[in-house]
Structure 1
Amino acid sequence: MPAAGERSAARREATGRRLARFAALRGKAARPGEFWDVVALTAADAQQALAFRQQLAEKLSRRELPLGVRYHVFEDPPGPKIGNGGSTLHVLRCLEDLYGDKWTSFIVLLIHSGGYSQRLPNASALGKIFTALPFGDPVYQMLELKLAMYIDFPSHMKPGILITCSDDIELYSTGVTETITFDKPGFTALAHPSDLAVGTTHGVFVMDPSSFSGKGGLEYTSCHHFLHKPDIETMRRCGAVCVGGNCSQLSSSGDRSDSVMDSECVYTDSIFYIDHSTAKQLLTFYKQMGTLCCEIDAYGDFLQALGPGATEEYIENTSNVTEEESRLVEVRQKLYSLLKGTTLNVIVLNNSKFYHIGTTQEYLFHFASDTKLKFELDLLPVAFSIFSDKAETLDQSASIIQSILEPGCFIGPGSVIEYSRIGPEVSVGKNSIISGSYINLKVDIPSNCFMSSLSIKINNQVRYVSMVFSVEDDLKKTVKLLSEIRSLQFFGVSLLECLDLWGVKVSGQLFSSENTRLGLWTARIFPVCSTLSESVRMSLKMLNSVQHMSAFKLNGFKLLSVEEMLAYKDVEDMLKLRKQIYDKICLQKEKSDL
């Protein structure tokens, strides 16, 4: 088997080829069969869908995407959350409503991009699928990268749906004569060799031993049984653990790397394909259900029903479910009955890597610290930005994306700056994220700081709010009672102490959530300001008061929670601010080319 360095170099070469193929298609009409017939994004609600449509329209107007493709955004129906499984079913219904029977001849890429990105809030307002990446001119976002990485698939795919998520990257290399083909009935999934620890947070394939050799390269096999986030004991008991050379070792970031500590590995999931015959069965099921009143997981609830070894054991297991709804078990039972006996084909990509970019820690690690993804995707320390050589210092591990850095500023190692303007007297500490902000005051921003500024519209007036946290703060953590908020932490300090410093009273009005979800996400603590730079200044003063345990009263300000900031967001103004930076960079590039 090739050494880790050779495998990484092969992935880099294959990735470069795919990116070049995609670049050649941008702004041009794809030939029939060359690209997707439909690219569909899911959105959590109508407001998020509008934001996605506005960004798609802008990309198309700039000719940054292939043309002649049906690009759609489908929002989940109003009511309870339905999960990515429910969204998949809803998209099938929308496609039939739009195209009638014609949809059964389409090759569809479905990207699940709904959700509010509580673990990576700089993607909350405009969507994880529109997360900027540190390469490209102009910069690529996750959408372009997805389209590039899957560019070989449509010409080797029968009509059907390929399903992926918006916050992961799959890089892979195959032999010169090897082709990834999606042409079998039922489901077909890609599988990646991973450490056992990775398997506990992913789906794991138990391969059919009669059709799987595990000898390396690209291998087509079938899955006997699919396990969803199993513990290691279950993996061993079910025969999912393989012994051989194609193993990956978990690194501290949670990605699947090439170093091997022992010879055990499992094969984990990423994207999967459903042929049209099976998709029509799922659509019929959805119509019969009428409305879904529970969250369905496209991986856990579809794939666990597949393969000859599938059992009903998982149906009542709700340990991996965030909120157990009364109807979930009933819906799972019906899905199991519908899908039982359906084949789960597996394409094993032995030279592949899966990167997840769904949390602040993963985002910082992969874009600013990890040399593996930087090498394989050729990420840049400065991507499509104005950066003066007179800037005091810029560590090579920092990442600057579509931003303007004025001479004299300091950006610490491991930090990411995106869509921002950083003034000459600004010092940013290490491992920080600054997004959509204009910082033009003399300030030392501490290490591990997360700051993201949003345009909002209240009473038809544009205003600005900047959220600030530690990159390690848990925005998903909630308590049920006001008396319990002492356990919530803001930059390592009890939220209760912070509120006292800010002069914010603990009352029933402190949180924006209508139910008992009391946490950093719903705490009304961020001041509304009339300018972007003022909102940044106020939020940094809040942070400074916590760091030095000195009072900074927020009296007189209207305060919003992150939840409310997203509800009031003004996408048009946020995109306008990004365009101002874009235009200034383009002008600077034109001058330098003269």
Structure 2
Amino acid sequence: MENKGSRRRTRGKADLAGTLRKSWYHLRLSVRHPTRVPTWDAIVLTAASPEQAELYEWHLKRAKRMGRIATSTVTLAVPDPQGQRIGSGAATLNAIYALARHYEQLRLEALGPQQVANASNCSSEPSVRCKRSNDEVAASMVTFIDKKHILLLHAGGDSKRVPWANPMGKVFLPLPYLAADDPDGPVPLLFDHILAISSCARQAFKNEGGLFIMTGDVLPCFDASSMVLPEDTSCIITVPITLDIASNHGVIVASKSGILGEGYSVCLVENLLQKPSVEELVEHQAILDDGRTLLDTGIIAVRGKAWVDLVTLACSSQLMISELLENRKEMSLYEDLVAAWVPEKHEWLQPRPLGEELVYRLGKRKMFSYCAYDLQFLHFGTSNEVLDHLSGTDSGLVGRRHLCSIPATTVSDIAASAIILSSKIAPGVSIGEDSLVYDSSISDGIQIGSQSIVVGVNVPGNNSRAAEDSIRFMLPDRHCLWQVPLIGCTKRVIVYCGLHDNPKISLSKDGTFCGKPWKKVLDDLGIQESDMWSLTGTQEKCLWNAKVFPILSYFEMLSLATWLMGLSNQRNESLRPLWKRSHRISLEELHKTIDFKQMCLGSSNHQADLAAGIAMACLNFGLLGRNLSQLCEEILQKEASGVKICRDFLYRCPNLQAKNSMILPKSRAYQVEVDLLRALSEETRACEMEHRVWAAVADETASAVRYGFKGTVEHSRY
């Protein structure tokens, strides 16, 4: 082993653009050619509830459709049992067990329906014979899954600090890095970039089965393809950070000696600290030579025998999880489960929920730290952090206009730094600096301030409202606005808060709403605490459980939003009674009643309409430079009319070349027809047309060569 201070290491941060592009290149290769570039055998997401798991399944199918996940990869979203919080550690065990059961189900289905029926009988009618069978099944599940390479992404929870991402799931928030590289593709999501980074980590496992755990609110930008993982152990990815940041995160205390490489080190983990003070860091010798300490990134790799131990524990964990549910306890991955691999933490762990079992089952293995000195830790834990990552030093990576419809600069005022994604903006709209508008339709008369976030908002146009209802709405600077469909409700509720509001901070601790302390909000509006909260027990009053948001007609909700944000006469004698007598909902209640199916359908239709508009403009006014194949993929998600729209485009094809015969190559016009035929699953006609494409390419190439040769000859005469 070599002393960590004996060699100079590369400490500069990685080039974010270069790292992401390399990772995306690797991801595409692994999806297209998984036999050449190994990919994950399974990708598993944890979810807070069955409803959220259903949403995540929709996103996983989308990722497969868009070529982000290989068709051979098994995907699964696993909710916490009974929708009750069990902690990230127990959720890890539950997810591994659910995946093992899923694989077992796939195996039985491959054998035939009788095997499935036998398995169902055993699960519903326990007996000695069935018990023996179940034990054998558990053993076979362990043997089978311990050879697999699994990516596990912790994505459950309620996203309290990024409340506008709560409906979609924080891991699926828009992150348009490198969006310009694929201008007709879907808006890149945080999830897509996580898939890209993780695809490079797969090769570190080689042929040894294992688990790679990541968190859904962090994008760790580093070259994971060069990662070194010790055999038969767990390994946590770390990066040096300053002590002030360490005070809000987990810290790893690593051995002073270890394996050193170019830009990384691998050392035994000696201790784990949670949000330590400087005194604690000094006491546990956690401060590095350069005055920094090691951040626990939440990225954990488990391979070899340590992975077998973890799978074995997971496949027998249901009684343990039932005990947690019964006692309403939680088991953390980052504090409890990993502590089983760190002997220094065993004494602390044993009295905790399931601590003795964890030490007994996992304690034989050790944990190492892989310190990636060039890792950039992009945390998306708050709304402000999201905007910071879109407007910071790497803002050149950001696609600021992607799959959107925006008016001319003479009829709107949209800041150059504003980010408009999958949205339709009408004339007469104003959008301020560094604001984000995503998956929305904004009608005229709407003003959006600077550093604001608008998601999933569909403001009806003037022609859909009566003259007396015609209003102008302004979202102030540093505010968030979003809409959510609710189960059993025909209306979408309008929700809003300040960019820096923390829904978890209570009224008594100076919690805020729309950037103002609650006490000032209540006083300005002339309402009482009892109007906002009707809590029982010891629950603290905060934005999360405040019944703020009324469910009324659309423009009544907008009017009340203006009033609640302090932009209209707050002593208004008509708005206050309207708000008081309305049925209102809190963020907490909203989280439990989101109509995910309606939300997915609405988003798909909205994006299909945008893609159809872009494709139509390309056919009518352009030179067919857009990727019609990709646009049609989005259009076809509109099940009711997607095929009809694409077929209408196909009928226009014979006239395309004639309309622009002097400047539009025949090969391009023919290729558009091929793309549309393939989108409509007319493969035979597409193949026939493809011959015409290549014939046209040959003619155009020959013509270009002749023209170029003639030009050269003419030039040589002079």
Q: TM range, normalised to the smaller chain?
A: 0.7 to 0.9
Whole-Å separation in 2 of the counterparts to 1:29 and 1:416: 36
Aligned to 1:260: none
* 1:90 Cα deviation from its structure 2 partner: 1.0
* 1:20 Cα deviation from its structure 2 partner: 2.6
Letter in structure 1 aligned against 2:428:
G
How many percent of aligned residue pairs carry the same amino acid? 21
Gaps of 5+ in 1: 244-262, 317-327
Aligned to 2:85: 81
* 1:38 Cα deviation from its structure 2 partner: 0.8
Letter in structure 1 aligned against 2:341:
L
Shift in alpha-carbon separation, 1:281–1:237, aligned structure 2, 3 A: farther
* 1:40 Cα deviation from its structure 2 partner: 0.5
Whole-Å separation in 1 of the counterparts to 2:226 and 2:580: 64
Matches within 5 A, 1:188-337: 188-211=235-258, 217-243=263-289, 263-270=290-297, 271-275=299-303, 276-283=307-314, 286-287=317-318, 289=320, 290-292=322-324, 293=327, 294-307=329-342, 310-312=344-346, 314-315=348-349, 329-337=352-360
| C-alpha contact 1:464 1:529 (8 A) present in aligned 2 | no
Q: Is 1:475 the counterpart of 2:507 in the alignment?
A: no
Letter in structure 2 aligned against 1:186:
T
Aligned to 2:586: 561
Local SS of the residue matching 2:54: helix
Letter in structure 1 aligned against 2:149:
I
Local SS of the residue matching 2:26: helix
* RCO higher in structure (CA 8 A, sep ≥6): 1
Whole-Å separation in 1 of the counterparts to 2:568 and 2:231: 58
Aligned to 1:150: 198
Local SS of the residue matching 1:386: coil
Match of 1:453 among 483, 495, 502: 483
* 1:305 Cα deviation from its structure 2 partner: 3.7
Aligned to 1:428: 448
Cα deviation, 1:144-170, whole Å, max 9, x if unaligned, reads 111111111223312111111100011
Whole-Å separation in 1 of the counterparts to 2:302 and 2:312: 11
* 1:287 Cα deviation from its structure 2 partner: 4.5
Local SS of the residue matching 1:242: coil
Whole-Å separation in 1 of the counterparts to 2:386 and 2:61: 26
Local SS of the residue matching 1:345: strand
Cα deviation, 1:186-220, whole Å, max 9, x if unaligned, reads 2112121211222222232222223155x751333
Match of 1:570 among 582, 595, 598: 595
* 1:280 Cα deviation from its structure 2 partner: 2.8
Letter in structure 1 aligned against 2:294:
Y
Local SS of the residue matching 1:151: helix
Q: Is 1:159 the counterpart of 2:186 in the alignment?
A: no
Whole-Å separation in 1 of the counterparts to 2:295 and 2:511: 34
| C-alpha contact 1:156 1:183 (8 A) present in aligned 2 | no
Shift in alpha-carbon separation, 1:396–1:25, aligned structure 2, 3 A: farther
Whole-Å separation in 1 of the counterparts to 2:556 and 2:403: 26
Shift in alpha-carbon separation, 1:12–1:497, aligned structure 2, 3 A: closer
Shift in alpha-carbon separation, 1:342–1:487, aligned structure 2, 3 A: same
| C-alpha contact 2:525 2:570 (8 A) present in aligned 1 | no
Match of 1:129 among 153, 157, 171: 171
Whole-Å separation in 2 of the counterparts to 1:59 and 1:179: 25
Matches within 5 A, 1:457-536: 457-458=487-488, 461-478=489-506, 488-495=511-518, 498=521, 506-507=529-530, 510-511=533-534, 516-531=539-554, 535-536=557-558
* 1:530 Cα deviation from its structure 2 partner: 4.6
Whole-Å separation in 1 of the counterparts to 2:340 and 2:595: 42
Gaps of 5+ in 2: 1-7, 104-140, 180-184, 462-470, 625-718
| C-alpha contact 1:465 1:565 (8 A) present in aligned 2 | no
Aligned to 1:388: 407
Shift in alpha-carbon separation, 1:204–1:335, aligned structure 2, 3 A: same
Q: Is 1:115 the counterpart of 2:157 in the alignment?
A: yes
Aligned residues: 544
Shift in alpha-carbon separation, 1:545–1:558, aligned structure 2, 3 A: farther
Bigger-Rg structure (1/2): 2
Letter in structure 2 aligned against 1:540:
T
Letter in structure 2 aligned against 1:198:
I
* 1:127 Cα deviation from its structure 2 partner: 0.9
Structure showing the higher strand proportion among its residues: 1
| C-alpha contact 2:238 2:369 (8 A) present in aligned 1 | yes
Whole-Å separation in 2 of the counterparts to 1:151 and 1:394: 37
Aligned to 1:371: 393
